[in-house]
Amino acid sequence: MSKLLPVFIFSLIMAYISDKRAHIDFNKFGDKIYRHKEKIFFFLMAVVAAVFVGLRTSYNDTATYRYSYELMSTGMGNILNLDLSLGSNPGFNILNTILKTIGFSTQDFLMIYAVVTVGINFWFVRKYSDNIWLSVFLFFTMGCYTFTMAAIKQCVAVAFCLIGIDRLLREKKISFVFWILLASTFHPYSLMYLIAPFLMFKPWTNKTYILLAVFGLIGLGIQPLLGTVVDITTMLGEEYDAATFTGEGINIFRLAVVWVPVIVSFFVRKYLREANTKKDNLILNLTILNAEIMFIGLFGTANYFGRLANYFLIFQALCLPHLFNGFTTGSKKIITFLCVFCFLLYFYYANVINQYFDNGFYSISFLSYIRGVVGSI
């Protein structure tokens, strides 16, 4: 984890300074409200975090993406020869053809997507978090950051969906639909976000319990439903078979982590009902949706549903800090300390014990990258 630790520590320091330099106020519930958010230190953090991702040469499926990009043909005319069906990710292929034709190298390709995905993720965190430092901490420890180093198509799609959610919260519904549809051209499962307008209801009402019950039943009955699931994925253009949905279930520690905000929200449900806003309701309900999809993955379907749940993972990092506002000042400090301690343990487990990060991550230096850029001009 020595490769990941420096950017993690640097990001936490920058987020802490940014948080301290912000102008804050308090609402009638005693919750912190940002009146003015600091930009420079947060921007510096985002740049360093994005560049670190963009400098990688190997991690998870990065080699596959590099190879595919290197094989792409140049020339704008090749766009007409691309498969433009939804399941073929036409937006991703068109953009890559344009990048390759312009002359961007394979490393440039990775850097551009890193800047887009990490940049938009941090922009969203900064805009909607009740506690920027804690949200950045959770963004790293829950795996949101390392996820941006893999599954490029999905990560770009999620980034576009976050812009869509921002538009929805600003009541720009046409713009919301546009961004979700654009995201679907990079990864078709982005269409799941179209459910977002229906998830702004108050938490822990009958709708919440119905949602939990439905996903619980799906989890328990997923094996008999495999044929239907395969048909749905085929309809979206993704070629999976029943074997994709079998095998080991979701790691129990990973499952426990994503259910923490859901459980905490139950204990502060009275506060949530009184202080509810569309933003907070939507973030909590998308957090619950993330946990429910992950729950389905417990029943031998980790390969598919674990990755599907990552569409909504970032909302966990936004939800938990807000939930802590439901506790008294003294309790809040204790709970925050326990949260930091426990998620640090999970961070260590995920990147050292379960899957050693340093063994899979390789990168070039920033100086080498700059030399490559200058040399190509």
Q: Decide if pLDDT at 352 tops 50.
A: yes
CA distance 164 to 266: 28
3-state secondary structure of 1: coil
* Confidence label for 281 from pLDDT (cuts 50, 70 and 90): very high
CA distance 352 to 374: 36
* pLDDT of the residue at 187: 94
Least Cα distance to 130 among 20, 276, 280 occurs for 280
Mean pLDDT for the chain overall: 88
Alpha-carbon distance values, 319 to 15, 129, 187 (Å): 17, 8, 25
What pLDDT digit, counting tens, does each position of 90-126 carry? Answer: 999 999 999 999 999 999 999 999 999 999 999 999 9
Q: Decide if pLDDT at 355 tops 50.
A: yes
CA distance 54 to 111: 4
* Confidence label for 244 from pLDDT (cuts 50, 70 and 90): very low
Q: Give phi and psi for 32, each to the nearest 5.
A: -70, 135
- Mean pLDDT for the stretch of residues 52-63: 95
pTM here? 0.91
3-state secondary structure of 356: coil
Structure-block tokens of residue 304: 């598919």
* pLDDT of the residue at 211: 87
What pLDDT digit, counting tens, does each position of 300-328 carry? Answer: 666 678 888 999 999 999 999 999 988 88
Q: Where are the domains of the chain?
A: 1-150+356-377, 199-326
* Confidence label for 81 from pLDDT (cuts 50, 70 and 90): confident
Residues in the chain: 377
Least Cα distance to 369 among 108, 131, 26 occurs for 108
SS (H, E, C) 201-221: CCCCCHHHHHHHHHHHHHHHC
* pLDDT of the residue at 245: 44
What pLDDT digit, counting tens, does each position of 167-199 carry? Answer: 999 999 999 999 999 999 999 999 999 999 999
